[in-house]
Structure formats: structure tokens, C-alpha cells
Amino acid sequence: MTLEYVDAGKAFNHSQLSNLPHSAPDVTRGVNYERILQARSESQNWITYYGDYDGKRHSLLDEINAENVKNLKVAWIFQASATGMIASTSTYAFEACPLVVDGVMFVTGWDGWLWALDAKTGEQLWRYKHAIPIDVTLCCANVNRGCAVANGKVFMVTQNAQLVALDATNGRKVWQKTIGDVRAGESASIAPLVIKDTLITGSAGGEYGVRGHIDCWDLETGEQRWRTYTVPKPGEPGSETWPADGEAWQRGGANHWVTGTYDPELNLYYAGTGNPAPDFDGEVREGDNLYTDSVVALDVDTGEIKWHYQFTPHDLWDYDSTMEMTLFERDGKKLMAHFDKNGYMFVLDRTNGELQHVTPFVDRIDWGVITRDGKVTPRKYPDKEGEPCHFFPGPAGAKEWTHASYNPEHDLFYVPVADVGATATRRRREFKEGMPYWGAAVEVDIDNMAGSVSAFDSHGEEKWRHRLNNMPMAASTLSTAGDVVFAGTPSGEFLALHAETGEKLWSFQCGSGHHSSPSTFTVDGKQHVAVPVGWGGWLEGIVPGMSGQGHGAALIVFAL
Amino acid sequence: MTIAQDRESLLAELGGQNKATIGAVLGTGSIAKASERPDGTMEATIRIPEDAMAWEPGVLIMPHAGILELTIINDDKNTHACLLPSNGDRQFIGLLNHSKGTATLELDGPGCYWYGSPAGNDEGRGLQAAIVVTGEVPPEAKLDRPAQPRP
């Protein structure tokens, strides 16, 4: 006799087994290009990655200020974690900057997660989980830096190089595009940027010998508007900086994996690019290797590179230049500041890329020297096969991807500084698609570390320094008009520093290290500060001496 | 030191519950391929045999990215569940003793995904299995460069 099966029904969304309302107010419907152009003027919200197109990470909110910040308390906590096997399991962490629109927070996590939260209470409103293969190639962690919002939608990239547009009221997918080749070693971690009626994204995977690119997508349909490769083909401008008879350009790196900034008057998108590949074996890619370790200024309508400036020509130390290009004005001049992994602060004329001046911003730099007028002289680099070479800063740089902020009232940049060295020993390997392509054995120092939040004026003069206890900074800073600079440390302290003096005004032990970007907003007229917390990411490169610190994953929101 | 030729006999020692170790050892199950309908939708059946505490097949191959319609059968005399990956949200189904249900999954490719039974220590005992999406990304997502050598 055959026994009939019990009907188990049809599998359903796991989030149905929760008290989630699965809906959020339609707050992003009215967010459009015009509003994002004026983002700072609505400082009650944080509607784009840096808080504004200029990358300053400076809020005009001042309810929380240098006088009362000592009274800051936890308003709510959102907790999340990883379950089961995920790609690069040991590395997952928040690296995002939370966006807030009229009382709703949108924050991305690792492994395809995006959450919509009530910004007043922390209640989870809906969530989206993209399925991420466990074998996807990641360099160097299972992370995501944030989302974009506009026209009723939320946009994010996924670790397996997809771009998704979600209905911001319920998290349901509206469209999806494949934006990279996971078999080639491409992935994605960048927060998309809405410009006009498009989205800008970039790729990750420089450590696998991919060819970097920046892409522009139609906001409503996901159709591609343009793609610009950041390594030129033979015959294209810049190709003369690669071996003429070789294949190096095909694997040249130069990935754009951190959101760029944008000047609407100039119609230019300023994209930082990553290291060349192989990272440490320069002999197989002789030349300057454009446009690696550069800022490229793209016409946002066409993707055409209008000008470029290369911070580390022929990089042999893994000195990506993907980090923020902060736009500011001085003496009526349109300028840009950039704190590079190579340990130097660069100020450029952002209309044409002309260098204004260069200044070191970390104590120990011995890989080479860059003069104030930009002349680069390498001194120490992995040269001979099998011969170890120790250098400062290590491959995570004097400042990793985590962002500086800029207070225009004080003309001060608040820089998360890392002072950690490393040893690279050149070990040549042949290129194979999808395999790590470093050209060296690399060991980052686990002792003799230092770090600080350091304040520099736009001329490069250091005005104050808040030293950490023998560890580097590994999280973004946030500047507010209340004369407070917020910064989280690897040991879990969330600090409030005085914007003019660096005096420590307040701190809170968050229970896990910081590796994200805090933001600030108001809800019901009350200012809040949000900081995603959790110790992960590329710790083996940034601070391996604290990679056993414990994990954690929580978003903590503070208010008076 | 074991050599490759011993694989089958050694796997036989590992196979099943409460033999070599307490549960089934990860990655030691069978392999099967989903079938494909003319419209590109794929379909397959996964099953928990009696007292196996493992999914059959242990590795399910999808020929390409897209929609997979699964039939899920629990032939065991115990209650289990199944939590599966899918774009949007993970898909959950409870599996009473001797029960049968379905799931519709959307997965990108290529890549390897896992699923399991989130009950007791079902996953550790062996109720963890893989869905492997084969193929390439769409042509428009490939890099503009000549074909590269692969391992």
C-alpha cells in the first residue's frame, strides 16, 4: 500500500516568520536629482552616500554639539548577524553608511542584505536578501558600502556583481542587471550614486587581474547608458603607459569600488581607481599603468574621461586611490582634496586636474617620496624574486577606504589615519582567470602599529591629532555643525571629538570594532547619530594584529 | 597517507548516520542535474531518505541561472524543514514526517549555494546540501578583453 504524502505546501519568504510589517512609508518617491543637488540643505535627512555630492560628510545639524554631546545616550539598536555558510564567512561586517529619508532608514549589510528601519524606533520595516553564492570571489571581504534612493526605489549592488532596484515601500525587486563577471573575479561593493536620471556604479576585483570599469545605468529601467574602462586598450589614450606587446592591460585592475563625488556645474563625476594587477610585481606591467591609482573626471552624460591625475604611478605597494575625492572651494577656486593610501594628501584644481600641492599626512612613509609639487621617487619596493621588502604604509594604506570628513567653517579635514607597515616578497605567478593575482607573498605587521584621527587644513597643515592606543583608525569620520567629529575605533569606542581642538568630549563602548560610516539625521525634530558597528572586512590587510578581536554586527543610534 | 583511488571505499566508511562519525560528512552525497523545460525554467526533486539525515542529491546542478522549481520530499520518520536561497528572501518550508511540498527559487549564476534544514542540528548531521549553478554570466556583463586562461 502506498501511503499518501502529507501536503507540506509551498515554501514561502522566511521573513513571513517574523513580526515585520513588510511595508514602509513611500518616503523616497519625492527624492530626485533636484533634491539630491540640495542634499545638505535638508540635513534632517541623509539621502545620498556622502550626505551630499561633494563628499564632505558634514551635516548642518547642531542640536548635538560640543557642549552637550557628553549627554548622548543610546536611542535604539538594530542587530543582525550571519547564519550558516556565507562567502568569506570570517570577514562579514557592516561597511555601509545608513541613508535616512523622512523617518525611514535604509542600510545594507553583507551577503546581499538590505534593511528598511523605522529611524525613530529601530523597528525593522522590511528586508531584502539577495542570494549570494558561497564561492563568489571577493577581495577582500563580504561587505557592501551602502545603497542609493530615488523615485520610490532603493538601489544596491551585490557581492556577486548584480545591481538591483527595489520598491522602497516593501523591498520587492523591480529590476536587476548583471554588472560584472564573477568568473573573471569581479564583484561589487560600492554604494551606487544617483545623478540626473541615472545611477553610477563601479566594479571590484583588482586583486584578481580584472579590467576595471565605471558604469552608468538608467534609473527606471536599468538599461546601460555607458561603460568606461579604467585601463585603456591598445591605441586608446593612456595605452602608452602599458607594455605595447603584452597582455598586461587586459588584467590591469584600476577598479572603482568606492563611490565618487560629483560637481553639477562642471558635469563631472570624480572616480577614484584602484591598484594595478598584479599588485606587487611591476616587471610584468612596465610603465605608469594608467588609470590605476588615479582620479578620473568623467563627463556624466557620456563617460568620457575629461582629465585624470595619477597619485601613485606604477604602483608596487597596493596603493588604491578609490577613496573619497572631497570637493571644496578656496579663494574662489574649485578644488578637490584626496587622502591617498600612499600617505600623501593631494589638492587638485577640479576643473582640470592641475596639482595645487602635496603633503604627507602620516608619520611613517618610506616606500618613496612625493614632493610638494608632485614629483614621485620610489625608494623601497618588492623588486627581486624571493627577497622580502618591508615598507610603510602597508597595503591597506595610511588611510583605507574609510572616509575623511570636512568642516568648511573651520577648513578642517578629519582623517582616519592608519600607520601600519608590511612586508611583501615578490613571488611571480602566471595569470589565470579568477585566481588571486598579487605577484607576492604579503604579511602585514601585527605590532608597532599606530593611528589617529588627525585634523588637517586644506593647505595640508596638521592642526590637531587624537591618537589611538597603538592601533590604526579603520572607520569613517563624521563632521557636524555642532563642532563635533564622530569616529569609531577598532576596539569599539565611538568617540565624539571637538572639531576645533580634537579634545575627547564623549565616548561609548559599542562592544565591537568600527569599520563603517556613521551618518546623522533628525526624526520628530530630534537629532540622531547612527553608526553601524561590527569588526570584519579586510582585517588581514588593515589590522591583522586585531583580527582576533571578536565579531559583532549592530547598528547603534544615539540621541540626547 | 590516503591516495585518491581509496576515495570510494573510504567514503563508504563515512556514509550514513552514527557510523564513522555521528552524522553524515559534509559534501559526501550524490549528484544530480535539474532538467530544463522549453521556457528555460528548471525543475528537480530533492529528498530526505529514511534515517539518512541528508539531502538526495547532495549536489544539485542547475545548467544556468534562473528559476528552479523544486519538489521537496521528506521520506524520513522525523520532522525536518528546508531553508533555501532565493533572490529577495530565503524560502522556508516545514517538512512533517512523510511529507511533500514545493519551492520556487531564483538564483544568479554561476555560483555555489547551500541550503539546509534549520531544525535541531539537522544541518550538522548532514542535512546541508548544495545547489550549483553552472554556465557563464550574460555576454553583456563580460569584460571587453580577449579570452583569458583559466585554472
Element (DSSP H or E) covering residue B125: helix B122-125
Local confidence pLDDT in tens for the 560 residues of chain A: 678 999 999 999 999 999 999 999 999 999 999 999 999 999 999 999 999 999 999 999 999 999 999 999 999 999 998 888 999 999 999 999 999 999 999 999 999 999 999 999 999 999 999 999 999 999 889 999 999 999 999 999 999 999 999 999 999 999 999 999 999 999 999 999 999 999 999 999 999 999 999 999 999 999 999 999 999 999 999 999 999 988 999 999 999 999 999 999 999 999 999 999 999 999 999 999 999 999 999 999 999 999 999 999 999 999 999 999 999 999 999 999 999 999 999 999 999 999 999 999 999 999 999 999 999 999 999 999 999 999 999 999 999 999 999 999 999 999 999 999 999 999 999 999 999 999 999 999 999 999 999 999 999 999 999 999 999 999 999 999 999 999 999 999 999 999 999 999 999 999 999 999 999 999 999 999 999 999 999 999 999 999 999 899 999 999 99
CA distances, A204 to each of A137, A255, A256, A388 (Å):
10, 5, 7, 28
Closest to A8 (Cβ–Cβ): which among B93, B111, B114? B93
Q: How far is B74 from chain A (nearest CA, A)?
A: 9
Contacts of A11 in chain B (CB under 8 A): 70, 72, 82, 84, 91-93, 101-104
The reply to whether B54 falls in a domain is: yes
Is B101 in contact with A9 (Cβ distance < 8 A)?
A: yes
Is A183 in contact with B98 (Cβ distance < 8 A)?
A: no
**A:225-254 residues touching chain B, CB 8 A cutoff:** 229, 233, 247, 250-251
**A:199-228 residues touching chain B, CB 8 A cutoff:** 210-211, 213, 224
| CATH code for the domain of B120 | 2.60.40.420
The reply to whether A106 falls in a domain is: yes
B140 interface with A at CB cutoff 8 Å: yes
What confidence tens digit (pLDDT) does each residue in A435-484 have? 999 999 999 999 999 999 999 999 999 999 999 999 999 999 999 999 99
Q: How far is A180 from chain B (nearest CA, A)?
A: 5
A1 interface with B at CB cutoff 8 Å: no
What is the Cα–Cα distance from A479 to A258, expressed in whole angstroms? 20
Q: Are A139 and A186 in contact (CB under 8 A)?
A: no
Cβ within 8 Å of residue A38, ≥6 positions away: none
CA distances, A276 to each of A293, A317, A401, A437, A487 (Å):
7, 10, 16, 10, 30
Cβ within 8 Å of residue A69, ≥6 positions away: A482, A484, A496, A505, A506
What confidence tens digit (pLDDT) does each residue in A227-275 have? 999 999 999 999 999 999 889 999 999 999 999 999 999 999 999 999 9
The reply to whether A469 falls in a domain is: yes
What is the Cα–Cα distance from A92 to B124, expressed in whole angstroms? 22
Domain that holds residue B73: 30-137
Q: Which of A24, A234, A40 is nearest to A119 (CA)?
A: A24
Active site residues of A: 318
Closest to A136 (Cβ–Cβ): which among B97, B111, B148? B111
Contacts of A84 in chain B (CB under 8 A): 114, 116, 123
Cell of A168: 522602497
Choose from A158, A167, A178 for mutation: most chain B CBs within 10 A. A178
Closest to A134 (Cβ–Cβ): which among B98, B108, B113? B113
A6 interface with B at CB cutoff 8 Å: yes
Q: How many residues does chain B have?
A: 151
Read off the pLDDT band of B9 (50, 70, 90).
confident
- A67 CB-side CA count, 13 A: 2
The reply to whether B34 falls in a domain is: yes
Contacts of A129 in chain B (CB under 8 A): 88-90
pLDDT at A3: 85
Characterize the bridge pairing of strands A405-407 and A388-391: unpaired
Q: Are A146 and A96 in contact (CB under 8 A)?
A: yes
pLDDT at B1: 54
Characterize the bridge pairing of strands B59-62 and B31-33: parallel
The reply to whether A15 falls in a domain is: no
A115 interface with B at CB cutoff 8 Å: no
| β-strand partners of A127 | A115
pLDDT at A1: 65
| CATH code for the domain of A233 | 2.140.10.10
pLDDT at A396: 97
Q: Are A260 and A271 in contact (CB under 8 A)?
A: yes
Is A182 in contact with B137 (Cβ distance < 8 A)?
A: yes
Domain count, chain B: 1
Closest to A5 (Cβ–Cβ): which among B98, B140, B149? B98
> A539 phi and psi, to 5 degrees?
-70, -30
What confidence tens digit (pLDDT) does each residue in B25-38 have? 888 889 999 999 99
Q: How many CB atoms lie within 10 A of CB B5?
A: 8
Q: Are A261 and A55 in contact (CB under 8 A)?
A: yes
What is the Cα–Cα distance from A361 to A429, expressed in whole angstroms? 34
Q: Which of A285, A262, A459 is nearest to A359 (CA)?
A: A459
Q: Are A4 and A149 in contact (CB under 8 A)?
A: no
Q: Are A382 and A280 in contact (CB under 8 A)?
A: yes
Closest to A13 (Cβ–Cβ): which among B82, B91, B97? B91
> A152 phi and psi, to 5 degrees?
80, 10
Give the three-state DSSP class for B135: coil
Q: Are B84 and B91 in contact (CB under 8 A)?
A: yes
A69-78 in b/e burial notation, b at 16+ Cβ within 10 A? Answer: beebeebbeb
The burial of A120, by beta-carbon neighbours within 10 Å (0-12 exposed, 13-18 middle, 19 or more buried), is given as middle
The reply to whether A24 falls in a domain is: no
B85 interface with A at CB cutoff 8 Å: yes
Domain that holds residue A175: 35-559
Closest to B111 (Cβ–Cβ): which among A135, A179, A250? A135
Domain count, chain A: 1
**A:141-160 residues touching chain B, CB 8 A cutoff:** 160
What is the Cα–Cα distance from A21 to A102, expressed in whole angstroms? 18
The reply to whether B9 falls in a domain is: no
CA distances, A169 to each of A27, A30, A114, A175, B23 (Å):
8, 13, 13, 15, 44
The reply to whether B98 falls in a domain is: yes
Q: Are B23 and B53 in contact (CB under 8 A)?
A: yes
Is B92 in contact with A13 (Cβ distance < 8 A)?
A: yes
What is the Cα–Cα distance from A272 to A338, expressed in whole angstroms? 9
CA distances, A523 to each of A32, A121, B14 (Å):
21, 10, 58
Judge if the upstream peptide bond of residue A393 is cis by omega within 30 degrees of 0.
yes
DSSP string, B31-63: EEE-EE-TTS-EEEEEEE-TTT-S-BSSEEEES
What's the one-letter identity of residue A175? W
Q: Are B139 and B67 in contact (CB under 8 A)?
A: no
pLDDT at B8: 80
Cβ within 8 Å of residue A20, ≥6 positions away: A124, A125, A126, A127
Place of cell 539546509: B116
Q: Is the pLDDT of residue B4 over 90?
A: no
Cβ contacts below 8 Å, chain A against chain B, sum to 156
What is the Cα–Cα distance from A173 to A156, expressed in whole angstroms? 11
Is A229 in contact with B112 (Cβ distance < 8 A)?
A: no
Q: Which of A425, A449, A443 is nearest to A316 (CA)?
A: A425
Q: Which of B20, B67, B16, B59 is nearest to B39 (CA)?
A: B67
The reply to whether B25 falls in a domain is: no
Contacts of A161 in chain B (CB under 8 A): 137, 141
Contacts of A8 in chain B (CB under 8 A): 72, 74, 93-96, 99-101
CA-based nearest residue in chain B for residue A17? B92
B46 interface with A at CB cutoff 8 Å: no
Give the three-state DSSP class for A427: coil
CA-based nearest residue in chain B for residue A85? B114
The reply to whether A309 falls in a domain is: yes
Q: How far is A513 from chain B (nearest CA, A)?
A: 28
